[in-house]
Amino acid sequence: MTAKKTSRSAAPARPKVSDYYGCNVFGLETMKLLLPKATFHKVQEAAAKGERLDLDSANAVASAMKTWAIQKGASHYCHWFQPLTGATAEKHDAFIDPTGNGKVLETFTGAMLTQAEPDASSFPSGGLRVTFEARGYTAWDPTSPAFILESETGSTLCIPTCFVSYTGHALDTKTPLLRSIAALDKAALGILSLFQSDAKKVVATLGAEQEYFLIDKEYYDARPDLLLAGRTLFGAGSPKGQQLEDHYFGAIKDRVFSFMTDFESESFKLGIPLKTRHNEVAPHQYECAPVFEEANVAVDHNQLVMDIMKRVAERHGLAALTYEKPFAGVNGSGKHNNWSLGTDTGKNLLSPGATPHENLQFLTILVSIIKAVHTHSLLLRASIASSGNDHRLGANEAPPAIMSIFLGAQLTKVLNDLEKGAVTKGTDPQWISLGIDQIPAVIKDNTDRNRTSPFAFTGNKFEFRAVGASANNAIPMSTLNSIVAAQLIATKKEIDAALKKGKSLKEAVLGTLKQYYTDSKAVCFEGNGYSEEWVVEAKKRGLPNEKTTPSALKGFALKKSVSLFAKLGVLTEEETHSRYHILLEKYAKDIDIEAKLIAEMTTTLFVPAAVEYQNELAKNLAGLSAAGINSPAQASLLRAVSEKVERALVAVDELKLALGNAEALTDVEDKAFAYCDKVKPYFDKVRVEIDALELLLPASTWPLPKYREMLFLM
């Protein structure tokens, strides 16, 4: 197979980004332009307060949206939502409404905008929805703007929505995310009220760096494992992988560059602020990063980024892979979730401030986050668990499955001083501090980068680096928001109690933080997260290290997790249990698909190719021996091929037996663990033999594209 070539001849002039940025978004500017002033204000107010819009205003918005969308060529609209499959979902309806005389009118009403009723019965509900109540509702989320998805043959108006069951239970990832954002707002404002802040709103901010692979579409289509499981289940390593370290930040190839510019302009049209692009560590691996946004919009945008990336890649004859570990032996892909808290007054609450008050406030929030991660580290781990991410966490390329926090040397010193009740003194001239409540702003430049930490402070934000590349970011983000919100509420309570006892604000705050830091500093780790020593040390510190999805997901089943979500109003008890179930089920299904593929590919692709070669070798040997030529090396080649075929077939039989046993289980927990502990171990047993055969058989007869082709040709 040969890869397509494109050359970078004189590029067509592209329009200036600022001229078309956001042109397919029904954003504030467009609304302001198209709506009566009073309606516009009502929409803004309803969005800010999370309230329902009155019907008249909804009708006005719908009418403006329809006119705008039709002008832009949209014939259909859809409620765009994020069910618990992890993907996005959309059901399109035409704007048409028959008038009775054989004609139609385009209609779109406030009712159509605000609510729809897609049949929910084919989406996972984890027991939340009994079949006779299959109805599900989507409800407009006015905090994330509607947008138009263009394709070559038609355009669709997409309305971001929440997806709930007839009984009001969240069947999606957006609903809890929105609830967690509201809970965090309230909890953070509680803390700010201690520090004379004039902020009226606090939002979680998110900048999600996204890693991905690009390979030629022909190779992708020829690999059933990539097509159905998202990853290669077989493949002998290429002699050249990433060992020369020549891909990271390397010059971008023409064909990739042409994909990237198209992908970016499609994203810009949708108001997605993609800022950075570069080659990543593994061959054919890339990264893009947007400027951060309010977390709800950022999550929607990340879902769109993955979607647009795949569509645009197809146009270029490429396949974009967001799976966590598509190729063994080279790096996998993650998301780096840069997360912080911002106020309506423009302050970043994770920036050390200019005044003692601001710095006390910064420390209060920082230490609360440390305590939250320490208390709920298993829940945080659960929020990023997936069969794909299991291949990364704990492997020496991605942050480990142990949740820990990196703070940097200076902040660590500040906190250690706080614990001792000492005054932090600077050692270098820039670090002139007068006390614990005056943290120099230079800290931003002094938090060096520890790439091995799953949760690192990077000067004015945390970077949650353990998230899988294909994840729906709403799950880790709603979890992070929730654990921090719960802790901020507890922190406020503690400080209030000390104030009541007559302590000064500074005493009350420092006393509380000192205790918290002592309780939770075990989660802080500055060293190499990839090292074996850390695994041993973390165990001593009592930090969980759950390496597989079924055991990590238990984080959702813990009593303290269930009650955390329930108390905050993020997820009811049933909703948390349903998520636990759905994610376990999803894991079992993922492994089931892989197991079946491994068995089928082995028996129908690799073994036939190997047997054919075996026959040829046997014939050849017979001929040689008839001619009286002794050829022991060729005989041993034949023996090697036949032994590997034999062992592969035996392993497949064992795999099938284990698979049958796992399939027969009915309890969802038992099933997930059986797939993990009983079925999955056979994957490598089969693969070892097949990968060895790949290196013995004639390249021209190998039935699939090889690693060296997929990862190096383009």
Question: Nearer Cβ to ligand ADP, position 258 or 460?
Answer: 460
* Closest alpha carbon to 490 in 372, 599, 401, 598: 372
Closest contact distance (angstroms) between CB of 449 and ligand ADP is: 8
Closest contact distance (angstroms) between CB of 274 and ligand ADP is: 10
Say whether 570 sits in a helix, a strand or coil.
coil
* Closest alpha carbon to 473 in 236, 176, 261: 176
Contact between 349 and 205 under an 8 Å Cβ cutoff? The reply is: no
Closest contact distance (angstroms) between CB of 298 and ligand ADP is: 8
Closest contact distance (angstroms) between CB of 591 and ligand ADP is: 33
Closest contact distance (angstroms) between CB of 343 and ligand ADP is: 11
Closest contact distance (angstroms) between CB of 294 and ligand ADP is: 10
Question: Nearer Cβ to ligand ADP, position 22 or 290?
Answer: 290
Per-residue exposure over 190-207, b if at least 16 CB sit within 10 Å of its own CB, e if not = bbbebbebebeebbbbbb
- Cα atoms found within 13 Å of the Cα of residue 109, Cβ hemisphere only: 9
Closest contact distance (angstroms) between CB of 461 and ligand ADP is: 4
Closest contact distance (angstroms) between CB of 268 and ligand ADP is: 15
Question: Nearer Cβ to ligand ADP, position 291 or 409?
Answer: 291
**Encoding tokens for residue 86?**
């992890």
Distances in whole angstroms, Cα of residue 494 to Cα of each of 426, 500, 522, 523, 637: 30, 10, 21, 21, 73
Question: Nearer Cβ to ligand ADP, position 341 or 370?
Answer: 341
Question: Nearer Cβ to ligand ADP, position 205 or 364?
Answer: 205
User: Distance between CA 285 and CA 278 in Å, rounded?
Assistant: 9
* Closest alpha carbon to 365 in 241, 246, 490, 209: 490
Contact between 570 and 664 under an 8 Å Cβ cutoff? The reply is: no
Residues present in the chain in total: 714
DSSP 524: B
Contact between 374 and 517 under an 8 Å Cβ cutoff? The reply is: no
What sign does the dihedral 284-302-403-509 (CA atoms) show? positive
Q: Which residues contact 259 (CB under 8 A, 6 or more apart)?
A: 214, 312, 313, 316, 318
Question: Nearer Cβ to ligand ADP, position 444 or 708?
Answer: 444
User: Which residues are at the interface with ligand ADP (CB under 6 A)?
Assistant: 205-207, 209, 289-292, 338-340, 348, 458, 460-461
The residue sitting closest to ligand ADP, measured at its beta carbon, is 207
Question: Nearer Cβ to ligand ADP, position 295 or 308?
Answer: 295
User: Distance between CA 178 and CA 171 in Å, rounded?
Assistant: 13
Closest contact distance (angstroms) between CB of 339 and ligand ADP is: 6
Q: Which amino acid is at 4?
A: K
User: Distance between CA 714 and CA 700 in Å, rounded?
Assistant: 19
Question: Nearer Cβ to ligand ADP, position 339 or 525?
Answer: 339
* Closest alpha carbon to 471 in 208, 287, 290, 163: 208
Closest contact distance (angstroms) between CB of 454 and ligand ADP is: 15
Question: Nearer Cβ to ligand ADP, position 185 or 209?
Answer: 209
Closest contact distance (angstroms) between CB of 218 and ligand ADP is: 33
Closest contact distance (angstroms) between CB of 351 and ligand ADP is: 8
Helix H or strand E segment including 63: helix 55-71
Question: Nearer Cβ to ligand ADP, position 372 or 659?
Answer: 372
Question: Nearer Cβ to ligand ADP, position 461 or 680?
Answer: 461
Closest contact distance (angstroms) between CB of 443 and ligand ADP is: 14
Question: Nearer Cβ to ligand ADP, position 261 or 348?
Answer: 348
DSSP for 284-309, written as a single string:
TEEEEEEPPEEHHHHHHHHHHHHHHH
- Cα atoms found within 13 Å of the Cα of residue 416, Cβ hemisphere only: 10
Question: Nearer Cβ to ligand ADP, position 290 or 550?
Answer: 290
Question: Nearer Cβ to ligand ADP, position 169 or 301?
Answer: 301
Say whether 276 sits in a helix, a strand or coil.
strand
Closest contact distance (angstroms) between CB of 536 and ligand ADP is: 30
Strands 202-216 and 285-290: antiparallel
Burial class (CB in 10 A: 0-12, 13-18, 19+), 665: middle
